[in-house]
C-alpha cells in the first residue's frame, strides 16, 4: 500500500486546514521544498500536493514549486487544487506530475472528466470529497445533492486511474478516517481508492492495509503536529 505524505501550499507556505476552512488555517514555518526534502530523506516516493491558491483562483499558481519538487527529489506527485481545464492538466504533466487530481470541475461536468481521461490516459485521479454521503464542491463551500456512490457508478467506466476519497467531517480532525464509508466506495469502484482525511495514528495505516481495493493513504496534519513520526511512518513502507 502506498503512503502519500501531504503538502498543502498557500502563499508559498505549508499549511493545513480543518475541514477545508481557510479561516481555520495553521501555517508551518517549513517551506514546501524543505518539507518535500524531509519526506525524501525518509524514503517516501509518493507525494500528495494540494495547491490551495489554485483551489481559490482556478490557476496553476504554484506550478514552479511542483516543478522544483519533482525535479529535485523525483517524487511520484499527485497534484490537485482548482484544476478546471485541459490546459492546466497539461501544464502539471509537463512539470512532471504523476497524477493530476480533478475534483469540483469533474463533479459539475462529467464530460470534462471523460475527456481528460481520454486525452491523458493513466494520469487522471478523481478527488471526491463527501459529507454525510453527499459530494461537496468548490472547496467544500457547496454541498451537492449528488450521492457519492451514485456518482461513482456513473463514471466507473471513464478510465480514471485513481480515486481519492475524503470524508470532510474527518479532515484535519485527526479522529481516524471513515473506514466504513471508504470500504463501501472501494467495493463498487472500478479504480483503486486512496484514503484521505482524519489519519491520526500508525494504527490507521495498519488498518488501511487490510482493506480491499485500497491503493494508498494520505497523511497530513498528523505529521505536521508530530502525532505520527516520519521514522515510524517510513517503517510502514516495507
What's the pLDDT tens digit per position in 22-59?
777 788 889 999 999 999 999 999 999 999 999 889 99
Give me the residues paired with residue 2 across strands.
216
Pairing between β-strand 99-102 and β-strand 124-131 as defined by DSSP bridges: parallel
Q: Is a pLDDT exceeding 90 seen at residue 145?
A: no
Q: Is a pLDDT exceeding 70 seen at residue 138?
A: no
CB 58 within 8 A of CB 29: no
Q: What's phi and psi for 216, nearest 5 deg?
A: -170, -175
Q: Where are the domains of the chain?
A: 2-235
Write down the pLDDT at residue 178.
92
Q: Domain 2-235 classified CATH 3.20.20.70? A: yes
> Is 129 designated active site?
yes
Q: What's phi and psi for 18, nearest 5 deg?
A: -105, 125
Q: What's phi and psi for 19, nearest 5 deg?
A: 50, 35
Cell numbers linked to 53: 491558491
Q: Is a pLDDT exceeding 90 seen at residue 172?
A: no
Rg of the chain in Å (alpha carbons): 16
> Is 122 designated active site?
no
Q: What is the greatest pairwise CA distance in the chain?
A: 43
Compute the distance between CA of residue 157 and CA of residue 91 in angstroms, rounded to an integer. 25
Displacement of CA 124 from its chain's centroid (Å): 12
pLDDT band of residue 189 (cuts 50, 70, 90) is: very high
DSSP three-state, residue 41: helix
Q: What's phi and psi for 128, nearest 5 deg?
A: -110, 120
Residues 60-115 have pLDDT tens digits of 999 999 999 999 999 999 999 999 999 999 999 999 999 999 999 999 999 999 99
pLDDT band of residue 140 (cuts 50, 70, 90) is: low
Displacement of CA 40 from its chain's centroid (Å): 18
pLDDT band of residue 122 (cuts 50, 70, 90) is: very high
Compute the distance between CA of residue 154 and CA of residue 106 in angstroms, rounded to an integer. 12
Q: Write down the mean pLDDT value for the chain.
A: 92
Compute the distance between CA of residue 131 and CA of residue 109 in angstroms, rounded to an integer. 20
Instruction: From 20, 163, 162, select the one nearest 82 (Cα to Cα).
Output: 20
pTM score: 0.94
Out of 41, 53, 68, 129, pick the active-site residue: 129
Write down the pLDDT at residue 17.
79
CB 112 within 8 A of CB 83: no
Could you give the percent of the chain with pLDDT greater than 90? 80
Amino acid at each position: 500500500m502506498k503512503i502519500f505524505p501531504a503538502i498543502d501550499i498557500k502563499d508559498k507556505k505549508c499549511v493545513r486546514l480543518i475541514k477545508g476552512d481557510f479561516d481555520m488555517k495553521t501555517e508551518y514555518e517549513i517551506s514546501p521544498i524543505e518539507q518535500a526534502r524531509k519526506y525524501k530523506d525518509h524514503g517516501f516516493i509518493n507525494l500528495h500536493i494540494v495547491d490551495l491558491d489554485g483551489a481559490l483562483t482556478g490557476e496553476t499558481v504554484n506550478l514552479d514549486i511542483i516543478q522544483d519538487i519533482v525535479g529535485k527529489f523525483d517524487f511520484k506527485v499527485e497534484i490537485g487544487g482548482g484544476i478546471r481545464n485541459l490546459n492546466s492538466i497539461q501544464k502539471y504533466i509537463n512539470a512532471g506530475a504523476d497524477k493530476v487530481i480533478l475534483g469540483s470541475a469533474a463533479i459539475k461536468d462529467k464530460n470534462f472528466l471523460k475527456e481528460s481521461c481520454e486525452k491523458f490516459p493513466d494520469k487522471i485521479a478523481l478527488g471526491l470529497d463527501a459529507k454525510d454521503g453527499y459530494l461537496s464542491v468548490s472547496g467544500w463551500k457547496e454541498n451537492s445533492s449528488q450521492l457519492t456512490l451514485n456518482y461513482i457508478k456513473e463514471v466507473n467506466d471513464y478510465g480514471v486511474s485513481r480515486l481519492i476519497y475524503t470524508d470532510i467531517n474527518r479532515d484535519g480532525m485527526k479522529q481516524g478516517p471513515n473506514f466504513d464509508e471508504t470500504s463501501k466506495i472501494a467495493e463498487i469502484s472500478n479504480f483503486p481508492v486512496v484514503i484521505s482525511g482524519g489519519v491520526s495514528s500508525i494504527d490507521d495505516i495498519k488498518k488501511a492495509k487490510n482493506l480491499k481495493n485500497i491503493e494508498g493513504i494520505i497523511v497530513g496534519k498528523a505529521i505536521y503536529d508530530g502525532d505520527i513520526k516520519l521514522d515510524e511512518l517510513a517503517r510502514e513502507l516495507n
